[in-house]
Amino acid sequence: MLRDDSESLGTRSLPGCGQSWSSPSVCSTIAEQQNTVYGLVSSHEMIPVSLSEVSFFNEDEDDEDRAFQCTLAIIKPEIANLMYKVECIMAQNGFIIKEKEVLRLSRDQAAEFYDEHALAPYFAKLVDHMSEVPIVVYVLSKRNCVEEWLRLIGPANVSLAKRLFPVSLRAIYGTETGPDPVANAFHGSDSPAAAEREIKFFFPNSKVDSTIDNGDDDVVQYIKDTMMPTISEGLSEMFNILPQDPLRWFGNWLLTRDK
C-alpha cells in the first residue's frame, strides 16, 4: 500500500488506483507559504524573471505561432518541497496555472507515463525515482507555452544545463550528476501533441486542450485587469529608485510587496 512520505504535501493517487489520501496539512500554515513564496532572492540564486519577453498585447504577432497553448509540467521529487517558490517563478514568467495536483505515482503508473523511454538504460532508475515520493503536476497556459516552458527549464542533461544555460531551472535545481535525465528537477512536454497526451494521463476529466482557441480574450482581460496594475506600480517605483540591477530589484519587489 502506498504511503505518504511527506507531511507537508497533500497527495492523491491517479484515477483508477483505488487509493487516495490527504495529508493532515496541505500547507502547514499561511505564514510558511508566505515565507516560501515571498522570501527575498538569496545572493547565490538567480530567479529567471523575463517579463520583457512576455508579449501579451502586440497586435502584429503571428497568431498561429504565438497562440495560447497548454503544456504539462512536473516538479520532480527532489524539489517538490519548493513548489510554492517554483509557482512564483512560473507567474513571473507569464505562465498561468490551469490545473494542479500533488500526487504519488505507483511504479506501474510511472512506467506507463515514461513508456517512450522503456528501452533507455536509465528507465528503471527513472521509474524508481518518480514513484518514491510525491510529485507536483501542473497544466500551464501561455502563448507558445510548450516551447516557453522548455526554454525556462533548460536541457534535460543537468551538466549541460549548468554549463550552457546556467540560469535555467534545471541548472539551478537539478541534482543529477550524470547524463541521465532522471533527477533533473522538472518535466515538460516536448510538443503540443505530447502535451495533450500527458495532460489526459494526469487529468483525464480535464477539458483543457494543448491549444486554446477561444480563451485569449479572458486571459488577456485578466492580465490587463489584475497583473498590469501591479507591474506598472513596480516599474514606476523602480524608475524613481533606478537600482543598479533592475531585474533583481523588480523580482524582489514582486516577492515582498504583499508582506
What is the set of active-site residues?
A: 187
SS3 at position 68: strand
The C-alpha angle 199, 201, 205, rounded to 5 degrees, equals 75
Q: Pull the grid cell for residue 111.
A: 512506467
SS3 at position 12: strand
The H or E element spanning position 19 is: none
**162 burial class (0-12, 13-18, 19+ CB within 10 angstroms)?**
middle
SS3 at position 72: strand
The H or E element spanning position 218 is: helix 216-222
User: With the CA atoms of 148, 151, 157 and 161 taken in that order, what torsion angle do they form, in degrees rounded to the nearest 10?
Assistant: -160
SS3 at position 98: strand
Using CA atoms, how far residue 52 sits from 94, 112, 149, 197, in Å, is 10, 39, 16, 31
The C-alpha angle 226, 93, 201, rounded to 5 degrees, equals 100
